[in-house]
Amino acid sequence: MDVGEAKDRIEAAFGLGELSSGAYSGAWAATAGRDVLECRTPIDGRLLGRVALAGEDDYQQVVGASVQAFREWHRIPAPERGALMAAVGAELAAKKADLGLLVSLEAGKTITEGQGEIQEAVDVARLAAGLGRQLYGLTIASERPDHSLREYWHPLGPVGVVTAFNFPAAVWSWNALLGAVVGDSMVWKPSSQAPLTAIALTRLVNGVLQAQGAPPIFMLLVGGGRTVGERLLEDHRLPLISFTGSVATGRHVAQVVAGRLGRTILELGGNNGAIVTARADLELALKGVAFGALATAGQRCTSTRRVIVHAGVYTDFLARLGHVYRMARVGNPLEDGTLVGPLIDRPAVASFLDALERVQAEGGRVVCGGEPETVPGCEGGHYVRPTLVEVDPTCRVPLEETFAPILYCYRYQSLDEAFAIHNSVPQGLSSAIFTTDLREAERFLSAQGSDCGMANVNTSTAGAEIGGAFGGEKETGGGRESGSDAWKAYARRVTSTVNYGYELPLAQGVSFPV
267 is known as an active-site residue = yes
Do 73 and 90 fall within a single domain?
Answer: yes
Q: Are residues 283 and 392 in the same domain?
A: yes
Q: Which of 106, 113, 301, 440 is catalytic?
A: 301
Question: pLDDT per position in the chain (514 positions), as tens?
Answer: 899 999 999 999 998 878 999 999 999 999 999 999 999 999 999 999 999 999 999 999 999 999 999 999 999 999 999 999 999 999 999 999 999 999 999 999 999 999 999 999 999 999 999 999 999 999 999 999 999 999 999 999 999 999 999 999 999 999 999 999 999 999 999 999 999 999 999 999 999 999 999 999 999 999 988 889 999 999 999 999 999 999 999 999 999 999 999 999 999 999 999 999 999 999 999 999 999 999 999 999 999 999 999 999 999 999 999 999 999 999 999 999 999 999 999 999 999 999 999 999 999 999 999 999 999 999 999 999 999 999 999 999 999 999 999 999 999 999 999 999 999 999 999 999 999 999 999 999 999 999 999 999 999 999 989 999 999 999 999 999 999 999 999 999 999 999 999 999 999 999 988 8
Tell me whether residue 202 is in a domain. yes
Same domain, 291 and 231: no
Q: Report if residue 514 sits inside a domain.
A: no
Within-domain flag for 513: no
Between helix 96-107 and helix 111-131 the angle, nearest 10°, is 120
Task: State how far the Cα of 246 lies from the Cα of 210, in Å rounded to an integer.
Answer: 35
Residues 6+ apart with CB under 8 A from 238: 63, 157, 158, 159, 160, 187, 232, 262
* Together in a domain, 192 and 264: yes
395 belongs to the catalytic site: no
Query: Does one domain contain both 21 and 169?
Result: yes
Whether 233 is covered by a domain: the verdict is yes
Domain assignment present for residue 319? The answer is yes
Same domain? 169 vs 193: yes
Q: For residue 165, what is the DSSP state?
A: S
Helices (H), 328-378: 346-361
Can you give the pLDDT at residue 17? Answer: 76
Is 472 within a domain?
no
Q: Shortest CA distance to 208 belongs to which of 130, 134, 97, 121?
A: 121
Q: Number of structural domains, the chain?
A: 2
User: What confidence score (pLDDT) does residue 296 get?
Assistant: 97
- CB-based burial of residue 246 (10 Å sphere; 0-12 exposed, 13-18 middle, 19+ buried)? middle
Do 73 and 140 lie in one domain? The reply is: yes
CATH number of the CATH domain containing 430 = 3.40.309.10
Which one of 113, 120, 267, 475 is the catalytic residue? 267
pLDDT at site 513: 86
Q: What is the DSSP letter of 330?
A: B
* Domain of residue 359, residue span: 272-465
Residues 456, 308 share a domain: yes
Query: What CATH number does the domain containing 257 carry?
Result: 3.40.605.10
User: What burial letters (b/e) apply to 463-480, b meaning 16+ CB within 10 Å?
Assistant: ebebeebbbbebbbbbbb
Residues 370 and 279 placed together within one structural domain of the fold = yes
Q: Is 506 a domain residue?
A: no
322 found inside a domain: yes
Based on the domain organization, do 130 and 156 belong to the same domain?
A: yes
Same domain, 231 and 330: no
User: Same domain, yes or no, for 258 and 338?
Assistant: no
